[in-house]
């Protein structure tokens, strides 16, 4: 408990938000809490780190989405269907069912929870 003494004073109990800010500063920013002057600076750098991680995540998801659209587009063009159908959600499921030799209404069933799992397998 001696380490927590710097977070409290005789009149104030331990400030949990201050402890969490210092913890995330150490964890994410690899800085000593004593190097940062105020809690606002810690929160500012923490929010910057979170924003950077979010941007990286969105770039990865965007790349995966582009890969899926391009591959579905190729499948549809090889099957003689229009490639733009890859980006229309329910219509592409209907065409995939039709390409697979099933009735196209099976594609509509894929949007129903639990039923879609049965009909897509």
- With a pLDDT cut of 70, the percent of the chain lying above it is 63
What are the backbone angles phi and psi of residue 31, rounded to the nearest 5°? Answer: -125, 155
Q: How many CB atoms lie within 10 A of CB 80?
A: 7
pLDDT at 100 > cutoff 70:
yes
Which position has the higher pLDDT, 94 or 45? 94
State residue 27's pLDDT score. Answer: 60
> Using CA atoms, how far apart are residues 47 and 103, in angstroms rounded to an integer?
50
pLDDT at 68 > cutoff 90:
yes
Which position has the higher pLDDT, 49 or 83? 83
Q: What is the separation, in whole angstroms, between the first and last Cα of the chain?
A: 57
> Using CA atoms, how far apart are residues 21 and 40, in angstroms rounded to an integer?
9
Considering the chain, what is the average pLDDT of its residues? 77
Nearest to 98 by CA among 80, 117, 84, 73: 80
């Amino acid at each position: 408990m001696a380490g927590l003494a710097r977070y409290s004073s005789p009149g104030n109990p331990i400030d949990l938000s201050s402890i969490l800010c210092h913890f995330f500063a150490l964890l994410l920013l690899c800085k000593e809490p004593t190097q940062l002057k105020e809690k606002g600076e810690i929160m500012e750098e923490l929010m910057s780190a979170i924003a950077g991680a979010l941007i990286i995540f969105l770039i990865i998801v965007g790349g995966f989405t582009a890969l899926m659209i391009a591959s579905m587009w190729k499948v549809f063009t090889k099957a003689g269907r229009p490639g733009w159908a890859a980006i229309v959600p329910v219509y592409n499921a209907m065409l995939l069912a039709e390409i697979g030799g099933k009735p196209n209404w099976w594609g509509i069933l894929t949007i129903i929870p639990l039923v879609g799992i049965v009909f897509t397998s």
